[in-house]
Structure 1
C-alpha cells in the first residue's frame, strides 16, 4: 500500500515538474527580448530605405527618462514643421523599436503633428529585462506623456496611436485614472484583447498545447519574475473604463492577433468609436495593404474628434 502511494506521489511530482518546465519556457520565450524565430523581418525595399533616410535627416530630439523601476528609456520627438500643440504618441509592436514605426512617424508628421516615438522597455535602446506587453509600458508611457506636456505646455493635445503590442499598450493606457486630460483620442491597430488571450492563441498555434494548465502557471511565474500576471494585462478591462474616442483597425486575415479580437475590444469601450477592417491584410499590414483607405479613415477620425 505504501509503495503504491509513493508511486502515485512520484508520478504527480513528475507531472508537476513537466508542467512547470513547459510553463517556465513559455514565460521566458514570451517575455525576454531574445530572437524570435516566428517573427519575420520586413524585407528592405526602396520605399522603406527612403523612409529611413527621411528619419535620419529630419529635425528631431533624442529624449530619455527613468522609469519607476529605474530603467533608462529612450524616445525620439519629431516637431512639426509649423508650430502646433497637437502631438501623436506612436507605440511600436512586439520586438520592434521606434525606428520600425518610421512610416507612421512620417505619415503623422506630414499631417502637421508633432510625433513622439519611444522604445518600449526591453526594446531598441531602452533598458529592461522583461517585455511588459503594454501593461508595464503603460506606466512608462504616462511619464512620456507628461514629458510632452512639460515640453509643449498644458494646452497640449495628444492622440495615442499604437500597432500590435503598441495597439494593446494604448488601449491599456485608456483606462488609467492618471491619464492626462490632454489625451483626446486613441487609435489602435491590431492590438490584442489581453496577454492571456494572445499567449493562449499562440500556444495553440505554435505548440498545439492547451491553455490549462500552462497559461495559468506561466502567469504566476510572470507575476513573481516580471511583476504582472497575464490576466491583469487586459485591453478589455481597461477599455471598459474608457470614455475617449477610439478608432479600432485590424487586418481581415490577421493570423498573429486574430481579427476576431477587434470586435471584443470594440464592444468594451464606453466612448465614441469606429472600426476599420482592411480586407486581405495580415498582421500589422493594414497601412501598406490599403494606404488610401487607411489614410482616409484615420484623417477623418482625427478631424472629427481631435481637430
Structure 2
C-alpha cells in the first residue's frame, strides 16, 4: 500500500512539474512574441496593423516623409542608461507651444508624421520620440508605456530646460496614448498644460488578457501571470503595475480622451474606464465607425476640430 501511495505521489509531482514547466514555456513564448523587440512584426489580431497604417493617415498622407524632411534628430540618455532618439521640429517664428507626440506599439516616430504636421500647422514645436526599443532608440524590451512614461517626461523636461515659458501638450495614439496616460500620474512640471490620448488601453494586464482570449483562445490564468513574472524578471515591470487607469486617477491636468466606437483591438469600453477614473477637467470624443487608431482618418474634421478647440481652451490661449 505504501509503495502504491509513493507511486501515485511521484506521478502527481511529475505531472505538476511538467505542467508548471509547460506553463512557463508558453509564457516565455508570449513574452518573446509581445515584449521582445527582436520580433517587430505586427502581432495579435489583424486589427493591430491599423496602428501603423492609420498613423500615416490624414492630411499629411500626401507626404508621409514630412517629419523626416523637416526635423532634426536629437538624443538623450534615459534614467537607466539607454540612448533614446527623437525627431524635433521648430517653428520658423518663435513659439512657446510644444507637442510631445508618442507613437504606438511596434511603430516609431516617423509613423506619426501626419499627426506631427497637424500640430505644427497649429503653431506647435514638436518632439516626436522613438520609444525605447523602437526606431533609433536603444532597448532590450518593449515597455508598453510603463518605463516609457519616464522617458516622455524626460523629453518634456528637456524642452523646459531650453524654454522655461514652454506650454506643453502630451499626445499619444494606442500604446503612445497609454504612455501619456501613465506619464500623467507622475509629478509634472507646471509647463505641461494638457494631455490628449487616442485609443489607449486601461492596463497592460487588461489588454493582454483580452488578446489571449481573442487571438489565442487561451485563459489568462495562469499564462498571463507567468508571462508577467517573466517580464518582471527580464524587463523590470509587471503587467499589473503598468496601469494607465491607476495613473489617470492622479492626473491634475486637463485631458481629452478619444476612441473609435468600432475599436476591437483596444476595446471601446476602455474609453469610459479611463475617462471615469480621471478626476481632472476632462473631455471625451467618440468617433463613430472608427476602428483602432483610425479616428483621425474616419472623421478628420471632427477629430482635429475637437483637438483644436481643446488646445485653444487649455494650452494655446492660456
Coarse TM-score class (shorter-chain normalised): over 0.9
Q: Of residues 10, 14, 31 in structure 2, which corresponds to 1:6?
A: 10
Counterpart of 1:68 in structure 2 is 79
Counterpart of 1:119 in structure 2 is 130
Q: Shift of the alpha carbon at 1:30?
A: 1.1
Contact in 2 for aligned 1:190/1:283 (Cα 8 Å): yes
Counterpart of 2:161 in structure 1 is 150
Are residues 1:84 and 2:128 paired? no
Q: Shift of the alpha carbon at 1:149?
A: 1.0
Q: Distance in 1 between matches of 2:116 and 2:288?
A: 24
Counterpart of 2:106 in structure 1 is 95
Q: TM-score, normalised by structure 2?
A: 0.92
> Relative to 1, partners in 2 of residues 1:236 and 1:45: Cα closer, same or farther, differing over 3 Å?
closer
Runs of 4+ in structure 1 displaced over 2 angstroms? 35-58
**Partner SS, residue 77 of structure 1:** strand
Q: Distance in 2 between matches of 1:227 and 1:53?
A: 35
**Partner SS, residue 218 of structure 2:** coil
Are residues 1:51 and 2:63 paired? yes
Counterpart of 2:297 in structure 1 is 288
> Relative to 1, partners in 2 of residues 1:45 and 1:249: Cα closer, same or farther, differing over 3 Å?
closer
Contact in 2 for aligned 1:81/1:112 (Cα 8 Å): no
Q: Distance in 1 between matches of 2:42 and 2:57?
A: 21
Q: Distance in 2 between matches of 1:292 and 1:301?
A: 14
Cα deviation, 1:170-201, whole Å, max 9, x if unaligned, reads 00000102x22211100000000000000101
Matched ranges for 1:126-165 at <5 A: 126-151=137-162, 153-165=163-175
> Relative to 1, partners in 2 of residues 1:284 and 1:214: Cα closer, same or farther, differing over 3 Å?
same
Q: Distance in 1 between matches of 2:148 and 2:249?
A: 19
Q: Shift of the alpha carbon at 1:306?
A: 1.1
Cα deviation, 1:85-122, whole Å, max 9, x if unaligned, reads 11011000001100000000000000111111000000
Contact in 2 for aligned 1:51/1:106 (Cα 8 Å): no
Cα deviation, 1:246-270, whole Å, max 9, x if unaligned, reads 1000111011101100100001111
Contact in 2 for aligned 1:251/1:259 (Cα 8 Å): yes
Q: Of residues 12, 22, 33 in structure 2, which corresponds to 1:18?
A: 22
Q: Distance in 2 between matches of 1:102 and 1:77?
A: 12
Q: What stretches of structure 2 of length at least 5 have no aligned partner?
A: none
Q: Which moved more, 1:134-143 or 1:101-110?
A: 134-143
Q: Distance in 2 between matches of 1:253 and 1:45?
A: 17
Kindly indicate whether structure 1 or structure 2 has the higher relative contact order, using CA contacts under 8 Å at least 6 residues apart: 2
Q: CA RMSD in A?
A: 1.7
Counterpart of 2:241 in structure 1 is 232
Contact in 1 for aligned 2:73/2:86 (Cα 8 Å): yes
Q: Shift of the alpha carbon at 1:146?
A: 1.1
Contact in 2 for aligned 1:121/1:137 (Cα 8 Å): yes
Contact in 1 for aligned 2:42/2:106 (Cα 8 Å): no
Contact in 1 for aligned 2:58/2:300 (Cα 8 Å): no
Q: TM-score, normalised by structure 1?
A: 0.95
